[in-house]
Structure 1
């Protein structure tokens, strides 16, 4: 399609500054305009109407590919996570313990959830990153192919359909490239772990009717364990306040005792038990001995006593901060000019990412018998001394705690392969009517493999051995022996029989996939000329189908493995949509209104799962004069439930929990609900003196995640009011300010196990949707099972202000470009249940500070350039429900990180770059709730980055 200098000027305006999305027609000379037969229009994120030099109808922040390089990052997500108007959806720093999500990179606009942020590539839908999800994995977008990223924050369902509740992230990739570019870089933290490597090859041609650009890139980031960082290894330790005064409202129940490597004594790598008030363990050769404990800490919540160092389960040794990730991306964009009026394009995406989460070895607790033939005589005597007789007259041995280190750490690897192809046609039907048609299909194959696993019942059978009549040591259970059971001696290190080990240990795999097919057509042009100009319109039709499935290992389906039980998933939906968008000029070239334009759009959707729905938007764009432009938008958006929310099968999960019915929890209950909670506990038959066992409190509790096929669409209404100011007296300066507000209803909310417990007993009676999701033991009254199930139960109200200012100026000693992006959040209220009393104010809590800023200073002189960037978040708290009686570590200080990067062109073809990220090695606040939070803070630490780029 014919290009012209006016098009180039408009594209430069888009790239140069988010404040420059207004007319650049004046930059083309009269001679250039005469040379052009048709003025090409461009499409800006937030609208399907192709426009000539208008201000964007909705707020748009632009990140260029050059910004990514200047930030010293090699993953699109790494910079998006630093933007003030986003939160981290998922990242390698937050997903180590998320079995099926480890290594994923999602972004979350406004903190409304990654599933409510629509990520497009070149304005087109992109397949989700994980089966059952709707969120795009940014790992599949190679940084070297990014031309720019346009972020619009505001409901855009009327233009783009479901998922665009919080806004749209539109990643525009390079369409052409002439030559070859090789880029390599490395990033090395100053503490071990977390190293990064990157290599990229880009080549293409923009000569002739057929043009293309191809990129092949590889990146690798290393794992970070808690032992790799001093501030993670020597963690803050919170304990029960030994000086607690019950009748003093300012006396905290819990305090930070100090810092160190916290160890749980209830588990040992060779087994541990208590006899006669002494805790015993086993030496590597199987000899029983008193356990080598560290310094005893004051009691923790619930009365458990941990130790500082020593033998046992070290939390730091068995915790991992950053998931290792490797990815290979191959992208080809091809364009063919059929004629002056029509062109064809093809996008091919192939990628593979590999990541693995890692956690402690399997941890087991079981009753050991005194006649266990695997125990030494001395150990048998100690076990016999600790054996008691229960009320039924049965002998009960002491609890043995075993950390299965001989089986290795449990690892769950993720192997994700993406293949996507999109074929499009675009062009002009008349001088002012254009079309854009595309079809795309994509598939992600996501296979998960578990290592260091064991057949749980086989383990219990193999470690329970007796001496038979022939004097041989055999498994106690006759059925187990018939099935091949061999005695497994774990009471030492490496003293087991290999055949017995092989009978117990195993690996497992789950195969899963998600696919997406889209056909879309858009017709855009001028409808009718009014005195102020032409009514511009865009009409679209789209059909989309998505499907997901998973097939866990047979042993997982049968629940035979430790901590992993899962059933197959199979679900799909399709949706047909039509939309219309109008831009109506109301005034032009009158007093106080250079232009005034009315914007509107409507979209109708028919989902096979949630039925019919609609979305709309209304807006005004008012260009007061050349310096001031004002815009107002309001919209209704919808989000349909995704496949996972609808069809998730029973899959096992584990949560740390506290029971509101327990005696030890009563002082900490919310006073507003305390009487209701106690009444409901009594109505459920829980005794007034109930207290869960130390074993229950000291371990994560099993439950199941399930879907809900009865879910309906979420609804969101939002409003944005803002202005763009570019004063003539200060050339190069621009200011954008936008007020925004979101009101979400029928929000799909998945309640985790602790919340299920909380809301069951906090409700006005036991007749609620949560209590049926709980199961208690009839004898001990401990919670033995729970179901985490989504409901359309929540609402959310969020509002705030975005501010963006930039100032570009030149001096004799170089050029400067200053840019500030800030977000102020004034309200973030969530009601998870729909009950009026359950409104939660989340504003100012750790994930949602009131203020977030990103300020960059760019300096360039001849072949040298440098960028200093600052990311700041204001002070927060752990919980807004905090009271001085709760703890002494609620306040979280403000947090600022500086990065410095520089580039130098040695020749026209060769560029070198380097930098220091997190210049001052700012660690997360050393508080129990914050020190290991990779979502809010930089947990990698100071690191040096070096890179080189060569083009020929």
Structure 2
């Protein structure tokens, strides 16, 4: 039953490429089938169904990437290839997460652009623990490429088969199960411009000992940082200014234009402090001497009216920006198998991994008031500042800007360790039925440490000094009692270590994730019908997940610059039961060689969001040996994750426009005026209500917090497609699938002003927004608000997937072509359900109409080469753009080419070489594009070299 005979391999191949015959694609080799040799046929479980089948194609569309295909792509991280697939977007990656605190270095994939939390990643058909506390998205860094046999991607709702999170589809990573030998693989990737280099080393070993077998892999990978200064297209950035020639009477005259390219500098921050007085901007030399600041070429006013400079002293945006997060990975994986007999087997998977990444941003940048009697200032500065009073202080005062370079760049290291074990037993109950019992347990420890931090209040106390009894001391008496020492930042190296130590600090946040799953499934044939066997699968599963975070006490107290965090603690469990049926309806008729009805259902009960159901129905219609049509309709659900439910309260502040105030009556949206007035009255707010001047003159406090009242998101999707294998053209297959996702009850968060807006614009106060606003019962003023996630959003996403495969042989080698394309028909998103809030994203930069990947391969004896094109169609930044906004809305098409090759020196030694982004295609050099790692290659042209040796 478990022997990998030639027939079973051919059947698996035919199924995974979604064709009726074994269509060859790069990375696959089709074995000749000799039925005299094949005495057993393996039942195969294909992603999207738990029914093990013989000789049938996948009931839902499946795209396959083989382990060999990963090698041919020149990547050492599975995420790097998934991010380039036409049917996926980047959830998070090292190119997009540098400034995402707690997430630097994570690699998540996002099917259909519906969100990485709506993409379920499985390993060998089983759930894998998430990568960040509060999230359900899997960190692909924890799965080494050397262990991957293939990746099956199904992009239809699969909750009926796999449960929550499979709204957009499933990425099922199938690992190798056995190996006999030892393989060493090393590679390096060198970039044409410095930064971003990669190193990789892998040791794979295993043994086949009869009934027992195992395969283990130890791998190490390192990718280096890319700063904006490392790339010319990032360093010399586009600069947007207010259009000096704008004609307000011309609707085609843009308000903002691209002035040119260069290193933009903000003059109001320097490494020794800067201030303006008498029309001149001053700073301090390293020895503390005051001098005029060296300014670069003044730019025309920006859109905000601020004037920046081209070069000169100040905050250089390129110098203080970083693109790619450095990432080190160590992975150890072992898969062990033991066959008790021909019918029963035990499997065990062990995953251990450690990843280290760090995000980096500029030093802290601070504004403070410097007084004319500050004893740390040189006398010339004190005399000058004494003449400036900012209208409030007789001592004289100026606003000072300081870039705290002495404290170093703000860095936050991410240290993540993962341990996961999966134990399973599967086999045959009888000739018709098979079973699978399994458990998995995983733990992630994710610790974040900050460097270059400071106690912000201590800093302000330490830089404000006076002379007292002939000594320079901190001005604030309470701060002095607490240990404050004067910190002279008006120069370099002018303060004592003790003063620095009192202000500076490091901080840490510890976090952990736990996941425990136990489940069982049976599948087999129930009865024989006239058209074939009625097949079924039944499964039960229990899952429990926990997440905790514990920030540093200083972070909890909000004492650090720009870093405040509260502890998180949350958990949930879910009990699920599912059934799936494959019912043959017709066989052997004209135009109906075979017609099968597919259906599945799942009932689930969450301890947090209650009970729910998911279902799927479908038809597989084999018209003849060349053409098969398939149709699927399903309902999927996504339960809210721990972060959305239990995120701790974090205080925030906002200036609020109160629609119930009489001063706002003339500005009310006429479409909702009646609703607003009725809802204000329904809350007992007087018709002549007006907040106090004190309320108007200050920001209002509120909280960003999770919401334990969230319910499940709902998705309805449909897929209609066909698979075509013409008899007149051997080794050719074409699959075309139309798909559409309608999502409702989606989880969304809102700003304070939007909470007020939607509360009162609704038909009544009985809505999800009004409970998030608190008013004083006496004054009726808004005194608190809660930015909670709520179930309010809707979206529709539809399109067409096309995949074509063709392989042919000649006297001078074998050729293969594979085209994978996705056409986006529609993408709309509505965060509230109000008609006016619907946004059309179709054809915007994130979601261009077409995305394509073309793979061509050539094999001749011991040599092979693969040429790959990755394409994004031209698009726009914003569909709601009008010509009077700016002159840079159009996004050009974008194509990169990769060329990789392999040569087998002998049976043991293989060498690889390649050029990735071989024409050094850079992102479009326009705002919103030039530095966008979500959509463009930030590495530039690079060269790969690898060696593989097998003992």
Please report the TM-score for the alignment, with normalisation by the length of structure 1.
0.92
Give 2:438's aligned residue. Answer: 438
Query: Aligned ranges for residues 701-716 of structure 1 at < 5 Å?
Result: 705-716=704-715
Counterpart Cα distance in 1 of 2:75 and 2:9:
27
The answer as to whether partners of 2:105 and 2:357 remain within 8 angstroms in 1 is: yes
Change (3 A) 1:65 1:194: same
Query: Aligned ranges for residues 234-313 of structure 1 at < 5 Å?
Result: 234-313=236-315
Higher mean Cα deviation, 206-215 or 60-69? 206-215
Give 1:218's aligned residue. Answer: 220
The answer as to whether partners of 2:23 and 2:731 remain within 8 angstroms in 1 is: no
Give 1:648's aligned residue. Answer: 647
Counterpart Cα distance in 2 of 1:749 and 1:99:
20
Q: CA offsets, 1:257-308, max 9 Å, x none?
A: 1111011112111111111122111111111111111111111122111111
Counterpart Cα distance in 1 of 2:97 and 2:107:
9
Give 1:779's aligned residue. Answer: none
Counterpart Cα distance in 2 of 1:802 and 1:686:
58
The answer as to whether partners of 1:832 and 1:839 remain within 8 angstroms in 2 is: yes
Query: Aligned ranges for residues 796-945 of structure 1 at < 5 Å?
Result: 796-945=795-944
3-state DSSP class of the match of 2:14? Answer: helix
Counterpart Cα distance in 2 of 1:75 and 1:672:
54
Of the three residues 21, 32, 36, the one matched with 1:31 is: 36
Does 1:94 find its partner at 2:96? yes
3-state DSSP class of the match of 2:384? Answer: helix
3-state DSSP class of the match of 1:500? Answer: helix
Change (3 A) 1:879 1:509: same
Q: CA offsets, 1:871-905, max 9 Å, x none?
A: 00101111111000111110010000000000000
Give 2:176's aligned residue. Answer: 174
The answer as to whether partners of 2:332 and 2:353 remain within 8 angstroms in 1 is: yes
The answer as to whether partners of 2:14 and 2:57 remain within 8 angstroms in 1 is: no
The answer as to whether partners of 1:65 and 1:146 remain within 8 angstroms in 2 is: yes
The answer as to whether partners of 1:515 and 1:547 remain within 8 angstroms in 2 is: yes
Give 1:84's aligned residue. Answer: 86
Change (3 A) 1:396 1:791: farther
Give 2:778's aligned residue. Answer: none
How far did residue 366 of structure 1 move?
1.2
Give 2:683's aligned residue. Answer: none
Give 2:334's aligned residue. Answer: 332
3-state DSSP class of the match of 1:562? Answer: coil
Change (3 A) 1:444 1:684: farther
Give 2:120's aligned residue. Answer: 118
Give 2:566's aligned residue. Answer: 567
Counterpart Cα distance in 2 of 1:95 and 1:263:
24
How far did residue 670 of structure 1 move?
14
Change (3 A) 1:214 1:658: farther
Unaligned runs of 5+ in 1: 662-668, 777-782
The answer as to whether partners of 1:757 and 1:770 remain within 8 angstroms in 2 is: no
The answer as to whether partners of 1:119 and 1:136 remain within 8 angstroms in 2 is: yes
Counterpart Cα distance in 2 of 1:917 and 1:438:
41
Counterpart Cα distance in 2 of 1:607 and 1:495:
60
Higher mean Cα deviation, 419-428 or 256-265? 256-265
Change (3 A) 1:263 1:273: same
Change (3 A) 1:244 1:675: farther
The answer as to whether partners of 1:276 and 1:385 remain within 8 angstroms in 2 is: no
Does 1:409 find its partner at 2:396? no
Counterpart Cα distance in 2 of 1:259 and 1:243:
19
Does 1:537 find its partner at 2:536? yes
Change (3 A) 1:908 1:652: farther
Change (3 A) 1:82 1:593: same
Q: CA offsets, 1:593-619, max 9 Å, x none?
A: 111000000000000000000000000
Q: CA offsets, 1:663-694, max 9 Å, x none?
A: xxxxxx99999999x999x998799xx999xx
Give 1:72's aligned residue. Answer: 74
Change (3 A) 1:509 1:659: farther
3-state DSSP class of the match of 2:645? Answer: helix
Change (3 A) 1:702 1:54: farther
How far did residue 660 of structure 1 move?
14
Counterpart Cα distance in 2 of 1:247 and 1:508:
55
The answer as to whether partners of 2:602 and 2:615 remain within 8 angstroms in 1 is: yes
Unaligned runs of 5+ in 2: 25-29, 660-666, 681-687, 776-781
How far did residue 703 of structure 1 move?
9.0
The answer as to whether partners of 2:440 and 2:517 remain within 8 angstroms in 1 is: yes
The answer as to whether partners of 2:566 and 2:649 remain within 8 angstroms in 1 is: yes
Counterpart Cα distance in 2 of 1:355 and 1:623:
50
The answer as to whether partners of 2:755 and 2:772 remain within 8 angstroms in 1 is: no
The answer as to whether partners of 2:768 and 2:790 remain within 8 angstroms in 1 is: no
3-state DSSP class of the match of 1:243? Answer: coil
Query: Aligned ranges for residues 474-513 of structure 1 at < 5 Å?
Result: 474-513=473-512
Change (3 A) 1:758 1:192: farther
Query: Aligned ranges for residues 144-159 of structure 1 at < 5 Å?
Result: 144-159=146-161
Change (3 A) 1:30 1:314: closer
Count of paired positions: 918
3-state DSSP class of the match of 2:54? Answer: coil
Q: CA offsets, 1:232-263, max 9 Å, x none?
A: 01100111111122221111111111111011
How far did residue 659 of structure 1 move?
11
How far did residue 107 of structure 1 move?
0.4
Change (3 A) 1:445 1:784: farther
Counterpart Cα distance in 2 of 1:570 and 1:71:
41
Q: CA offsets, 1:508-552, max 9 Å, x none?
A: 000001110000100000111100111000000000000000000
Change (3 A) 1:675 1:303: farther
Give 1:345's aligned residue. Answer: 347
The answer as to whether partners of 1:23 and 1:52 remain within 8 angstroms in 2 is: no
Give 2:664's aligned residue. Answer: none
Give 1:610's aligned residue. Answer: 609
Q: CA offsets, 1:393-420, max 9 Å, x none?
A: 7767221111100000000000000000
Give 1:370's aligned residue. Answer: 372
3-state DSSP class of the match of 2:36? Answer: helix
Counterpart Cα distance in 1 of 2:669 and 2:934:
31
Does 1:131 find its partner at 2:133? yes
Give 1:780's aligned residue. Answer: none
The answer as to whether partners of 1:660 and 1:758 remain within 8 angstroms in 2 is: no
Q: CA offsets, 1:345-403, max 9 Å, x none?
A: 0000000000000001011111111111101111112212221334xx77672211111
3-state DSSP class of the match of 2:52? Answer: coil
Change (3 A) 1:27 1:919: closer
3-state DSSP class of the match of 2:209? Answer: coil
Change (3 A) 1:637 1:21: farther
How far did residue 439 of structure 1 move?
0.3
Higher mean Cα deviation, 274-283 or 846-855? 274-283
How far did residue 101 of structure 1 move?
0.5
3-state DSSP class of the match of 1:388? Answer: coil
Does 1:717 find its partner at 2:716? yes
The answer as to whether partners of 2:15 and 2:57 remain within 8 angstroms in 1 is: no
The answer as to whether partners of 1:285 and 1:492 remain within 8 angstroms in 2 is: yes
Give 1:161's aligned residue. Answer: 163
3-state DSSP class of the match of 1:270? Answer: coil
Counterpart Cα distance in 2 of 1:40 and 1:464:
78
Give 1:467's aligned residue. Answer: 467
Does 1:5 find its partner at 2:6? yes
Give 2:211's aligned residue. Answer: 209
The answer as to whether partners of 2:555 and 2:566 remain within 8 angstroms in 1 is: yes
Q: CA offsets, 1:792-842, max 9 Å, x none?
A: 110000100000001000011100010000000010000012211100001
The answer as to whether partners of 2:20 and 2:626 remain within 8 angstroms in 1 is: no
Counterpart Cα distance in 2 of 1:881 and 1:907:
60
Change (3 A) 1:706 1:564: same
Counterpart Cα distance in 1 of 2:839 and 2:708:
27
How far did residue 40 of structure 1 move?
2.3
3-state DSSP class of the match of 2:895? Answer: strand
The answer as to whether partners of 1:545 and 1:572 remain within 8 angstroms in 2 is: yes
Change (3 A) 1:750 1:764: closer
Counterpart Cα distance in 1 of 2:580 and 2:23:
21
Please report the TM-score for the alignment, with normalisation by the length of structure 2.
0.92
